[in-house]
Structure 1
Amino acid sequence: MSGLLSGLSPSIHVWDAMTKQTLSILRCSHAKGVGYVNFSATGKLLLSVGVEPEHTITVWRWQEGTKVTCKGGHAERIFVVEFRPDSDTQFVSVGIKHIKFWTLVGGSLVYKKGVIGSVEDGRMQTMLSVAFGASNLTFTGAINGDVYVWREHFLVRVVAKAHSGPVFTMYTTLRDGLIVTGGKERPRVVETPGGLLGVSTLSSRTKEGGAVKLWDQEMKRCRAFQLESGQLVENVRSVCRGKGKILVGTKDGEIIEVGEKNAASNTMINGHTQGGIWGLATHPFKDVFISASDDGTVRIWDLADKKLLNKVSLGHPAKCTSYSPNGEMVSIGMENGEFIVLLVNALTVWGKKRDRSVAIQDLRFSPDNRFLAVGSVESAVDFYDLSLGPSLNRIGYCKDIPGSVIQIDFSADGKHIQVSTSTYTRQVHEVPSGRMVTEQSVFERITWATWTR
């Protein structure tokens, strides 16, 4: 296993995946960082490609810590360099409008550019992925969803629209020659009985159906897998295959194991993806919690089993979340000023409202589940009476709050809220009128729902 670093002094670290011990550290000449690494068939050699303008390709004897040779790869970015699975001397590089077939000859690298020729629908594309077949076949996945089939360095065929979006990843072994592809796709079920692997398949004419596909050796027939991880997986970035299973890495940070024969999915790792996790709340009496993130999803997790129970995409970055005291509802505050109330059992929308144009920072249900208080960057707290139904008409609000709202807490009787702000002030207001309370004698009599001393 290898790792790579970027920065002023990039290096490649090779370590044992089982013992986690470092086996070798390669100090690179890749000035701005390392973009990709790959082992040769025997594992004795290692390829690396830099992200500097020349996109230099370097061959290493990693066990000795020595560089065999290097050569400028391409003027534009190189995404992948892969040794043929039966070779320590031949590899392929692909990238922006680029495919080259390389050979290590002694201490030098020589290459041949891919030749398109007169193949129908053939034109040089940006290539994102590589796989290999018998008889010196190479398959490259293109940004438009096509797969190009090469013999030596000549294009022989184009598999049009293998995926409806970019083909980000491909994997094959010479053991049986079957090819796995992964890409971006909105699945559409069009099945035909029988076929490859003896199960329902997609015909060669209609290849839509899943972000992961298993193809025959010539990429003429395939089976599409529709993967579920709380919702349909539409964007796959990495695939691997072995022992009757396909391992899938998704854009959303999930790792899913799928059976080739029964198509059963097992989500092994999942979590939020882009941006931070801003909202976190525990269920009032169950060992579960909910998280909300910039990736626009909210997710319910099991504390004991440490696994995802449910998730839903809300379409916008989420900034905060809160359970109702009875555990039946959860509210989510959004970056765009909207807030959404979901029914917990199915994570379906009960109601939503947008009375502010800036981010919601905190929201809280009253102890009797009747009121919802929503605080925003707009220096305001709005009140909603949930007993009036999902229309969520505002019934009152707090004003004269110095700074954006950071936290809210209801009193135990639901008649007051306290607000902490970005200016390090604390205010108490009546519910639902929003009138600010200034009498010290009133403060002293209030018991807060979640605040302890």
Structure 2
Amino acid sequence: MSYDYDSLVSTAHSSNPDVFHPNIYNFKHSLGYDCKGKKNLCILDATHIGYIAGNYFISLNIKTNEKLYIRSMSGQGMSCLAMNLTHQNLAIGETGDMPNINIFNHTGGKDFKLVKQLHSGAIKTYRCMNFNLEGNLLASVGGNPDYMLTIWNWKEEIIMLRSKAFSQDVYRVSFSSELDGQLTTSGISHIKYVVNTKHFNIVNRFWKMASTFTGLKLQGEVGRFGKTEISDIDGYIELPDGKVLSGSEWGNMILWDGSLIKVEICRNDNKFCHNGKIMQILMDEGELITIGSDGYIKVWDFEKIDSADVSDGSSFFQMEPMNEMLVNKHAQIMTIEKSIDESSIWYAQDSNGGIWKLDLSFSFTSLAPEKMYSHHTGIVKGCSPSPSTYTVATIGEDGSLRVYDILNGSLIAETFSANKGTSVLWIEENSIFSENCIASGYSDGILRFFTLDIGKIDPNKRLSEHHTMKYALKLIHICKPHTSDIEYIATFSKKSNGKTYMVTSSKDKTIFLFEIAEKKLIPIGFINTESVVTFVDWKNDKILASCKDGRVLKIDDIKFSEIHIKDTFCIDKWCSKTVHTFTSIKSKVEHASLLEKKEKENLEQRKIKKKELQRKRDLGVEIEDEEIQSESESINEWREYIPAEPSSVLFGIWDSNSFDEGYYISMDKYDGGYLYKKSFNAQYNKKNLMNKNVYSGSEPIEIFQATNVSIS
């Protein structure tokens, strides 16, 4: 039996399908990767790897770079995955309200069939999952708020056992390959063994599935750190005799015997095994391998660790690794997965935005680490399409500026900065320096300009050196107009003089103006805004600045010809400023909508009652006075709500069809879900005083199915 994936997958919705068909936009590419997920990489077959990116599971052909996308059922994202040992069954945990676990049968290539759906295992999201050795059971752990450990007979789609795993995030769950019915969980400040009864644990948690006179239950025992510092635990492995070897935040290994620490393993002279958290521990062909956030992969003598003991009163056992490899000094490896067809080849998930191909043969002929794919790490702060080609520039909080070919979804250029990237703009063709000029802003207030240089990279060089990209980003200009994050970059043309200007806004509560002349950028000066400006629009020589404190600023009458810079770049005295402060009206709007809905319901009830009374009259039934009296519907006492902290203005744009200085703004937090139309024109506002749809000078425009969603 299998499910019809196409009928279950989440799709777009339209408020008016006759005007905007739900499929007016077709999904083309996903350029991201949730590289910071605890385990977001799996091997599908000899030529395909898989990972999650937001709302999609991506099957990537490592030979051709072709991608297959599987969209979530909830439409709210995917959170974790698990693959069984035969690489035939893939489980994907989702995010949303009472999300499902979807299990796909994979027989190779593009062949995925949705065969099972598991319900009611978590309230909001799943944090981790794992199949047992035989592949007939699946263990899952939910995230906040429930943190429930669930054992599934997934083929029958039924829950066998449930218990609360812990009170905080669990990073990993696994079945013992040697001891039937034993599980282990680990995560924030804990590890726990489970044995089928009713408890869980904190550093490593150890569980067993036990038969009792009331049935099968989960019994958990928490690992006790004792004198050892409490640690979050990511990586661990169950040893054949039941002991558990775990990592630690500081980089040493901890050997657990039951719920107690037997010994802590470090290197000679009390050096840490890794200079950072141990993310994964595994066994491969008799060798014990540790993966660290320091970018190192190390191989250890398993027999030495298994028999490790101390007799001198010390709790530390010292030893050195047999082999080690530094993947890259900037790499932070989260997990590695072994290739199916090549015994020494592994693929690694790098939380610094990459997927690596590694040769762990540790021989003289071993291949150097190869970075196969590069992605943003963390938040993508800006995105700007080329005005003339099918390319797009993105900038990330990781300091990387990237250019993608959006026709085939490939990365064609990238450059890195030590500071966080905050904004980007692909400038209009021939307006400054070059037709391929990209302006990028950073957290230190620096503004950089790059051009795409073709032919500067040798396409025959290794991917690990520059990812075989077609272009190089060449730095052509740099300046520092601000002292903090550059929030926004825009260019505008001034009708009165035909010149083009660039505006940047910053967390330093200023906006800076430049004139874009032929082959050069001329600084004009800055205007104090008294608040952080998040967005800038320009119309008829007027600037509309949206602010984080709920204000909207109109800047006009800029006397460019009179500006004279001497002691300061401040040009406040050569312009005028008008401020609007947004007053929250959302509770009024929603209350009015409720009243209108209630009135319609009462009207329908009165019509029904009138028909009923007429029917009784026609039948000659005596009607009592109480039935004739209309029943008044009471509505609970209502009080207007205004947030204590003003919502931010995410963006504001001039109304292009308005001659009365009208504009639209979108608000953050509580006031999200609407566009609000306002105006700087006093006469326009006066006319709208009697308009029942205008509240405190704002006319709300509800966004379809986005009542509590901020529109950005």
Q: Distance in 1 between matches of 2:335 and 2:542?
A: 46
Q: Is the 8 A contact 1:149 1:159 kept in 2?
A: yes
> Hey, what's the Cα distance between the residues in 2 that align with 1:30 and 1:109?
17
Q: Deviations over 1:331-376 (max 9, x none)?
A: 312366431245765656853312475635335699xxxx995312
1:333 equivalent in structure 2: 441
The structure 1 residue matched to 2:102, chosen from 1, 13, 36, is 13
In the TM superposition, residue 44 of structure 1 has moved relative to its aligned partner by 0.6
**Matched ranges for 1:326-405 at <5 A:** 326=434, 330-334=438-442, 337-342=445-450, 345=472, 351-355=478-482, 359-362=486-489, 374-377=502-505, 378=510, 380-383=512-515, 395-397=523-525, 405=536
Q: C-alpha separation between the residues in 2 aligned to 1:104 and 1:403?
A: 54
Q: 1:108 aligns with which of 217, 232, 237?
A: 217
| Higher normalized helix content (fraction of residues) | 2
The alignment of Structure 1 onto Structure 2 pairs a total of residues equal to 387
Aligned to 1:280: 384
Work out whether residues 90 and 103 of structure 1, in 8 Å CA contact, stay in contact via their aligned partners in 2.
Answer: yes
The question of whether the paired residues in 1 share the 8 Å contact of 2:446 and 2:478 is answered with no
User: 2: distance between equivalents of 1:365 and 1:8?
Assistant: 44
Q: CA offsets, 1:391-428, max 9 Å, x none? A: x8x543598999953489xxxxxxxx989856999999
- 2:330 is aligned with 1:233: yes
Asked if the contact 1:279/1:318 (under 8 Å) is kept, the reply is: no
Structure 1 residues 59 and 346: alpha-carbon distance in aligned structure 2, compared to 1, 3 A threshold: same
Distance 2:543 2:167 in 1: 54
Matching residue within 242, 251, 276 for 1:165: 276
Q: Say yes or no: does 1:65 pair with 2:173.
A: no
C-alpha separation between the residues in 1 aligned to 2:561 and 2:345? Answer: 57
User: Deviations for 1:193-216, whole angstroms, at most 9, x for unmatched residues?
Assistant: xxxxxxxxxxxxxxxxx3444444
Matched, 1:291 2:422: no
Aligned counterparts of 1:32 and 1:288: Cα–Cα separation in 2: 36
Q: Structure 1 residues 403, 421: CA separation in 2 closer, same or farther (over 3 Å shift)? A: farther
Change in Cα spacing, 1:429 to 1:269, as seen in structure 2 (3 Å) is farther
Distance in 1 (alpha carbons) for counterparts of 2:396 and 2:387: 18
Give the % identical residues.
16
Alignment deviations for residues 105-159 of structure 1 (CA, whole Å, 9 cap, x no partner): 2422223333557xxx734422222223444342212222222123454433323
CA distance in 2, matches of 1:81, 1:358: 40
Instruction: Specify whether residues 400 and 233 from structure 1 end up closer, same or farther in structure 2 by C-alpha distance, changes over 3 A only.
Output: closer
Instruction: State the partner residue of 1:317.
Output: 421
> What letter matches 1:163 in structure 2?
H
Q: Does 1:252 align with 2:352?
A: yes
Kept after mapping to 1: 8 A contact 2:104/2:114: yes
CA distance in structure 2 between the partners assigned to 1:110 and 1:398 by the alignment? 66
How big is the shift at 1:13?
1.6
Q: Secondary structure at the match of 2:377?
A: coil
Please name the residue that 1:125 is paired with.
231
* Distance in 2 separating the partners of 1:343 and 1:111: 59
Quote the Cα distance in structure 2 between the aligned partners of 1:136 and 1:51. 27
Q: Is the 8 A contact 1:397 1:432 kept in 2?
A: no
Selected match of 2:290 from 180, 188, 212:
180
Structure 1 residues 131 and 353: alpha-carbon distance in aligned structure 2, compared to 1, 3 A threshold: same
Q: How far 1:87 sits from its partner (Å)? A: 5.1
Contact 2:122-2:146 within 8 A present in 1 as well: no
Evaluate the alpha carbon distance shift between residue 400 and residue 144 of structure 1 in structure 2; reply closer, same or farther with a 3 A threshold. Answer: closer
Q: Tell me, in whole angstroms, the C-alpha distance in 1 between the residues paired with 2:525 and 2:484.
A: 15
Q: How far apart, in 1, do the equivalents of 2:243 and 2:186 lie? A: 15
* 1:81 Cα offset (Å): 1.3
| CA distance, structure 2, for counterparts of residue 134 and residue 36 of structure 1 | 23
Cα 1:350–1:153 shift into 2, 3 Å? same
8 Å contact kept, 1:292–1:321: no
| Change in 2 beyond 3 A, CA 1:362/1:75 | closer
Any conservation in 1 of the 2:205–2:221 contact (CA below 8 Å)? yes
Give the deviation of 1:221 after TM superposition.
0.6
Please give the per-residue CA displacement for 1:89-117, whole angstroms capped at 9, x wherever unaligned: 22211122422222222422223333557
Specify the SS of the correspondent of 1:21.
strand
TM-score between the two structures when normalised by the length of structure 1: 0.69
What is the one-letter code of the residue matched to 1:299? R
* Alpha-carbon distance, 1:37 to partner: 1.2
TM-aligned CA distance change 1:374 to 1:339, over 3 Å: farther
| CA offsets 1:240-259 (integer angstroms, 9 cap, x no match) | 23421222112234222222
Give the Cα–Cα distance (whole angstroms) in 2 for the partners of residues 306 and 124 of structure 1: 44
Q: From the superposition, tell whether residues 42 and 280 of structure 1 become closer, same or farther in structure 2 (CA, over 3 Å).
A: same
Residues 1:386 and 1:330: Cα distance change in structure 2 (over 3 Å): farther
Distance 1:157 1:397 in 2: 64
SS in 2 for 1:10: coil
Residue 136 of structure 1 is matched in structure 2 by 242
Q: CA deviation at 1:45?
A: 0.6
* C-alpha contact (below 8 Å) 1:297/1:318 kept by paired residues: no
Higher mean C-alpha deviation, range 378-387 or range 101-110: 378-387
**Superposition deviation, residue 237 in structure 1:** 2.3
Aligned mates of 2:414, 2:231 — CA distance in 1: 39
Q: 1:292 to 1:431 in 2, by over 3 A?
A: farther
For 1:147 and 1:432, the matched residues in 2 are separated by 69
Provide the rounded CA distance (Å) in 1 between the counterparts of 2:225 and 2:526: 68
Distance of aligned partners of 1:343 and 1:52 in 2 relative to their CA distance in 1, 3 Å threshold: closer
Gap regions ≥5 residues in structure 2: 1-89, 191-201, 267-271, 306-318, 453-471, 494-498, 546-551, 564-573, 576-712
Output aligned runs, 1:193-204, within 5 Å. Answer: none
> What is the aligned counterpart of 1:221 among 321, 330, 334?
321
The question of whether the paired residues in 1 share the 8 Å contact of 2:144 and 2:168 is answered with: no
In 1, distance between residues paired with 2:321 and 2:421?
40
After TM superposition, the structure 1 = structure 2 runs for residues 24-63 of structure 1, keeping only pairs within 5 Å, are: 24-51=116-143, 55-63=147-155
Kept in 2: contact 1:247–1:257 (CA 8 A):
yes
Distance, in Å, in 2 between the alignment partners of 1:214 and 1:403 is 50
Distance 1:432 1:347 in 2: 34
CA distance in 2, matches of 1:51, 1:64: 24
8 Å CA contact retained: 2:487, 2:534: no
